[in-house]
Structures are given as C-alpha cells and as structure tokens.
Amino acid sequence: MGQPASKVATAPAADHPSRIIVTIDGATVRGVAVDLRPWSIEAEDATAAIRGRADECTVACSRPGSLFDAVGVVDPSLNVSLRRVLAAVARRRGHRADAADELRSVRAELATLGVSRCDRAKQRRQVATAGADEAELAERVATIRGELQARRDASVDVSATEDRLSDAVAALTDARTERLSAEQALDRVRKDSRALRDRRDRRLRLQDRERNLERDIHRELADSVYDEFAAAVRRVPGGAAPGRSVVEYDGDDVTAALAILRMLRTATPAVLAVDRFDGPERAAHELGVPVLRV
C-alpha cells in the first residue's frame, strides 16, 4: 500500500490532549491527532488498533475504558443512550446515588430466587394410573371372592382359589399403597407449586423494583453532571440546545458524544468519522482528547 507524506503534529501544551504514536505500513506519525484517511483506514480498523488488535495500523496510547464503546467512535450512525452514559460519567467522577444500597439489596435477593418448576401434570398422571390399577385389582379380588364362595357352597376344594385370592389381595394392597403415595406426592407438588408461585410473584415484583431503581439511579446520576454536559454541548460544534435535563436535550447524538468526550478528556484517542471541526488537530484541542480521523 502506498503511503502519503506523513506529518508530525505540533506538540501540545501541558493542558492539551495527550500525544499518540501511530505506525502505518512502517511510517510513524506522532501528535495529538492523526488523519488516517490517506491510508484508507476505516473506523473499525482504527478501533482495533486502539485496542491493540490490529497489525496494519498500531497506536501507542492509553487503552480504552468502559465508556469507549458508547462514545469513543463518533460517526453519523451513532446512537447514544444519553442518561445511561451520563450516569456512567458521574460514577467515574465518584458520584453515588441514594438508591444504590437498595438496588444492591434487591439484586442480592433476586440471586436467591432461582426459577424452578413443579410438574403437577406428571403427578396427576401417576395418581390416575395408580387409581386405575387399584380399581382393576379390587374388581379382581371381588371376582375371586365370588368364585371362592361358590366353591365352598358346592363343597369343592378351595385351596387353589384361596391362593389366588391371597395373591390378588396382596397385589391390591400394594396398588393401594402406590395410589396413596402418588396422592401424597401430588399434595406436596401442589404445596410446592403455591410456594413457587409465591417465589415467582416475589421475583417479578423485585425485577420491576430493580428496573425502577435503575431508572431512578440513572436519572439522579445523570442530573448530577448535566450542568457540565450542557456547558460542553455549548462548546462543541453542532448547534444543540442542551436544556436543563436529559429530557430537554434537543440535539443529535453526535453532538452529545462530542460533549461527553470533552467532559472525559481521556488519554485514549477518539475515532472521528464526522466533519465537525477544521481538521483533526482542531478537534483534538477542542475536545481535549487525542483524535484519529477516519
């Protein structure tokens, strides 16, 4: 691949973005911003280089933090969950929401409420089968007793019939025991089902509470840094109107991401795929972060 003439960016002042070192096809570029477009490096490749996972292009820089996925790559298709991202910024600043302890408690209880099932249909089938077996054997016992009485009335030998009756009565006793055991198991399943239903209802209530607490926490944390975000919005290009809260923000996601980058001022480069600044170096100095332009 051919390489353009490399340009070394001017060294920034102490309060300006960190310098980065980019190596592309053996050429090294140093500065607060590097324009990768002459090499046809795309955003995906630049991101991989920042993460240390690319061969063609390498970037010597601080590795990305947890917010990089949200705002580290700025292109026209960017979708920023503003409240969630601002809440993460607030946590990074050491802010803590009032409901954090309750949320932790709710999640701890949820972890103990595992979901399991009781198969009542299987137990009902077992009761029905045992009942049918018992009824069949009871009918057999009644029949043999009738035969036995008839033979006695006829003064005929009854020893073989008595043996058959004894076997049938023993089988009937076993069948009755099986039926009673199946009924008891069904009763236990019914009780367990009620307990599981109560656990399931409790779990659903806790999950609902967890979602509400998460929303409240995100709102509180986002509000705690919103004034700073609004000030940053007014300093970056885009013409957004920040308003006084997340719900009043009137602007696009690219502008929001640029403002958040300005708030963060990390040593990790931002990957810019938008034309909002007069060149990559201007972007780096206005945002306060190193920039890779793609």
| pLDDT given at position 1 | 38
| pLDDT given at position 12 | 37
Give the pLDDT band of residue 199 (cuts 50, 70, 90). Answer: confident
Report whether pLDDT(6) > 90.
no
- What is the full DSSP assignment across 253-275? HHHHHHHHHHHH--SSPEEE-S-
Report whether pLDDT(269) > 90.
yes
- What is the full DSSP assignment across 276-289? -SSSHHHHHHHHTS
Report whether pLDDT(148) > 90.
no
* Phi, psi torsion values for 293, nearest 5 degrees: -95, 125
Report which of 68, 70, 66, 61 is spatially closest to residue 92, judged by C-alpha positions. Answer: 66
Q: Of 112-126, 131-145, 265-279, where does mean pLDDT reach its minimum?
A: 112-126
Task: List pLDDT tens digits, range 55-87.
Answer: 788 899 888 988 999 999 999 999 999 999 999
Report whether pLDDT(145) > 80.
yes
Contact 254, 276 (CB under 8 A): yes
Contact 84, 214 (CB under 8 A): no
Mapping DSSP to helix (H, G, I), strand (E, B) and coil, where does residue 27 land? strand
**Amino acid in the structure at residue 101:** D
Helix (H) or strand (E) holding 30: strand 27-31
Report the distance separating Cα 71 and Cα 85, nearest Å.
9
Please tell me the pTM assigned to this model. Answer: 0.68
Annotated domain spans of the chain: 1-65+266-294, 109-211
Tokens of 98: 């009032």
CB burial class (10 A; 0-12, 13-18, 19+) of residue 123?
buried
Render the burial of 23-58: b for 16+ CB within 10 Å, e for the rest: ebeeeebbbbbbbbeebebebebbbbbbeeebeebb
| pLDDT given at position 13 | 39
Give the pLDDT band of residue 11 (cuts 50, 70, 90). Answer: very low
Task: List pLDDT tens digits, range 102-122.
Answer: 999 999 998 888 766 656 677
Contact 136, 243 (CB under 8 A): no
CATH of domain 109-211: 1.10.287
Q: C-alpha angle 91/92/95, rounded to 5°?
A: 40
Strongest mean pLDDT among 77-91, 118-132, 181-195, 197-211: 77-91
- Report the pLDDT averaged over residues 260-279: 94
| pLDDT given at position 16 | 63
